[in-house]
């Protein structure tokens, strides 16, 4: 099966900032006024793209890459101020809840304890059952929404336990059990439907505003879904599970220079043969949903489409896994029919084999380069700007990396710092981060994306995530006043100077 090769993105620049990192009075960044102000900042800074992290509802560990659904939105990101203005909440109800003590970090335990109680008050007052817009939304999204809302209602009913610990009949989705629980938890399902209605409405408004300002949204989707998700509970036959719905193998990556035992992600692996039999229908639905959410779609761990690392489910580390061929071009040809013209960025970091390179060339998807990987050897390092190709997206680092100021800080090797100074024509280490940004902007690569923390010159206290660790991740937030007109003007000068 053939498909049309994707056209290059064209020359431009953007900023990576998760929505949850925005300032907010209520514990976590939201789709409210600070998001609109950030769009205004990007416009003034001459930027073309705002890259966000996955927007799905987060589960244990609070990672946006471990979500209860590949289709739903994160209730934490719903702007409560809008609900106050609509009379669905009082200001006292919102402000008396404990959202955490620090404006520069996220306390997920307190969000979990209070956010849903506040949203339930808004739902109870909404009269949504007689709202035509709500009814239209539920009908439009019915294909995934009914299953997701029942999944969340059941999870609450069973004390938050993963679906594999539910009673057998509903765990295995026996039709009679599903029907009985749908009736029993009808009101609870209505609440979860309403939460998604709010999220989709607010996200749609924000995205339209960004597009009107000339800003395109780059969405980031994990290649895998969480085991404890509505996706696996409903579509167990599409994953490598046994007859009891337990995984036989899970995802991860092998040992490398960053981890002696590899990374054991624990996500269930797709049964690609089963998916191919129905023309990859689930993936088509997923990508069609993403195409409505975003203007461009970054597929995380793209190499898993060519070959994936399978780890026996009983293993405690990733050391004893093996590489297995993936669906390759058959999947890309199938999802191309669902994209509606939206374009894809391939996160091709990791084990980039000739087969990965061939598929990238065949698809036309731009791959990625990281400037933090550029200075650890010599002038032949392919992450140096001299070796960039036009159809490439260049990052300083991703959400999994140190900030530039942290990476090139006191703990870095003297040899790397010396080479970076020579290559970038600066005399002091503190000048390196901004010189890295300038070098990327000056390169021939079509697209350049840097984390906002790097433009702000922040150290690793502003790091988003440290892979293979629990606790302290996904917590950093901007505070009011950190963004300035002077910074926006400096960024705009850079984009104009290098034709971005």
Structure tokens at 389: 């190709």
Q: pLDDT confidence of 61, banded at 50, 70, 90?
A: confident
Q: Which is higher by pLDDT, 188 or 61? A: 188
Q: pLDDT at position 164, please?
A: 95
**For 383-442, how does the pLDDT look when each residue is reduced to its tens digit (9 = 90+)?**
999 999 999 999 999 999 999 999 999 999 999 999 999 999 999 999 999 999 999 999
**Residue 200 near residue 73 (C-beta atoms within 8 A):** yes
Would you mind telling me the total number of residues written for the chain in this entry?
A: 500
- Cα 312–Cα 317–Cα 318 angle in degrees, nearest 5: 65
Residue numbers annotated as active site:
300, 347, 400
Give which of 14, 463, 397 is closest to 216, Cα–Cα. 14
Mean pLDDT of the chain: 95
Tokens 């800080």 sit on residue: 409
Percent of the chain with pLDDT strictly greater than 70: 99
pLDDT of residue 349: 87
What's the pLDDT score for residue 444? Answer: 97
Is residue 156 predicted with pLDDT exceeding 90? yes
For residue 100, pLDDT over 70 is answered with yes
3-state secondary structure of 220: strand
**Residue 257 reports pLDDT greater than 80:** no
User: Is 115's pLDDT higher than 80?
Assistant: yes
Give 123-151 pLDDT, tens digit per residue.
999 999 899 999 999 999 999 999 999 99
- Mean local confidence (pLDDT), 267-273: 97
Is the pLDDT at 317 greater than 70, yes or no?
yes
Average pLDDT over every residue of 34-47: 98
- Domains of the chain by start residue, with CATH: 12-72+202-497 (3.20.20.80)
What is the pLDDT confidence band of residue 1, given thresholds at 50, 70 and 90?
A: low
- The three-class DSSP label of residue 318 is coil
CA distance 216 to 288: 17
pLDDT for 350 equals 77
> Which residues contact residue 314 at a Cβ distance below 8 angstroms, ignoring those fewer than 6 apart?
none
Is residue 51 predicted with pLDDT exceeding 70?
yes
Q: What is the pTM of this model?
A: 0.96
| Residues 338-388 pLDDT 10s | 999 999 999 998 778 899 999 999 999 999 999 999 999 889 999 999 999
Beta strand pairing call for 367-370 and 392-395: parallel
94: nearest Cα among 79, 109, 75, 106 = 79
Query: Which pLDDT value is given to residue 3?
Result: 78
Percent of the chain with pLDDT over 90: 93
Position 157 confidence tier, pLDDT thresholds 50, 70, 90: very high
Confidence at 43, pLDDT banded by 50, 70, 90: very high
3-state secondary structure 72-139: CCCHHHCCHHHHHHCCCCCHHHHHCCCCCCCCCECCHHHHHHHHHHHHHHHHHHHCHHHCHHHHHHHH
**Residue entry with tokens 């710092």:** 417
Kindly give, in sequence order, each residue whose CB lies less than 8 Å from that of residue 132, ignoring residues fewer than 6 positions away: none
With contact defined as beta carbons under 8 Å apart, do 362 and 417 qualify? no
Residue 410's alpha-carbon distances to 395, 416, 459, in angstroms, are 22, 12, 11
Cβ neighbours of residue 14 closer than 8 Å, sequence gap 6 or more: 42, 47, 48, 49, 50, 51, 216, 218, 447, 448, 449
Residue 32 region by backbone torsions, left for phi larger than 0, else alpha for psi between -120 and 50, else beta: beta
- For residue 60, the model assigns a pLDDT of 81
- State the pLDDT at residue 40: 98
| pLDDT the model gives residue 353 | 86
Average pLDDT, integer, range 182-189: 98
The residue with tokens 């290059």 is: 8
Q: What is the DSSP letter of 67?
A: B
Closest CA to 113 of 99, 103, 124, 96: 99
Strand partners for 433? none
């Amino acid at each position: 099966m053939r498909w049309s090769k994707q056209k290059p993105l064209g020359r431009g620049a953007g900023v990576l900032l998760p929505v949850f990192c925005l300032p907010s009075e209520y514990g976590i960044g939201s789709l409210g006024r600070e998001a609109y102000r950030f769009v205004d900042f990007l416009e003034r800074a001459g930027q073309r793209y705002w890259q966000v992290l996955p927007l799905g509802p987060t589960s244990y560990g609070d990672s946006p890459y471990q979500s209860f659904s590949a289709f739903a939105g994160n209730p934490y990101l719903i702007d409560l101020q809008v609900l106050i203005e609509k009379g669905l909440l009082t200001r006292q109800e919102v402000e008396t809840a404990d959202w955490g003590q620090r404006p520069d970090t996220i306390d997920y335990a307190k969000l979990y304890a209070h956010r849903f109680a506040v949203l339930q008050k808004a739902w109870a007052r909404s009269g949504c059952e007689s709202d035509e817009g709500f009814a239209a939304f539920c009908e439009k999204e019915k294909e995934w929404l009914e299953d997701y809302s029942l999944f969340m209602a059941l999870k609450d009913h069973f004390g938050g336990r993963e679906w594999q610990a539910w009673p057998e009949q509903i765990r295995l989705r026996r039709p009679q059990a599903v029907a009985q629980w749908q009736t029993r938890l009808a009101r609870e399902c209505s609440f979860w439907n309403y939460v998604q209605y709010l999220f989709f409405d607010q996200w749609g408004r924000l995205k339209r505003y960004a597009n009107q300002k000339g800003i395109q949204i780059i969405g980031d989707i994990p290649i895998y879904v969480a085991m404890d998700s509505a996706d696996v509970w409903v579509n167990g036959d599409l994953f490598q599970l046994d007859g009891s719905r337990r995984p036989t193998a899970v995802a991860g990556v092998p040992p490398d220079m960053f981890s002696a035992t590899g990374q054991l992600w624990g996500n269930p692996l797709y049964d690609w043969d089963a998916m191919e039999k129905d023309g990859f229908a689930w993936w088509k639905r997923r990508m069609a949903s993403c195409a409505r959410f975003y203007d461009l779609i970054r597929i995380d761990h793209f190499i898993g489409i060519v070959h994936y690392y399978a780890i026996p489910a009983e293993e405690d580390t990733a050391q004893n896994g093996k590489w297995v061929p993936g669906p390759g071009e058959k999947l890309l040809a199938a999802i191309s029919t669902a994209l509606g013209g939206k374009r894809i960025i391939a996160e091709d970091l990791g084990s980039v084999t000739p087969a990965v390179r061939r598929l990238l060339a065949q698809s036309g998807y731009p791959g990625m380069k990281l400037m933090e990987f550029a200075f650890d050897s010599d002038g032949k390092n392919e992450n140096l700007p001299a070796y960039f190709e036009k159809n490439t997206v260049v990052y300083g680092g991703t959400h999994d990396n140190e900030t530039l100021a942290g990476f090139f800080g006191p703990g870095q090797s003297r040899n790397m710092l010396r080479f970076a100074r020579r290559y970038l024509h600066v005399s002091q280490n503190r000048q390196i981060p901004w010189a890295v940004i300038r070098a990327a902007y000056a390169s021939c690569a079509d697209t350049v994306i840097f984390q906002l923390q790097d433009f702000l010159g922040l150290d690793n206290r502003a790091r988003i995530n440290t892979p293979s660790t629990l606790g302290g991740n996904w917590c950093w937030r901007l505070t009011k006043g950190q963004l300035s007109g002077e910074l926006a003007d400096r960024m705009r000068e850079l984009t104009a100077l290098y034709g971005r």
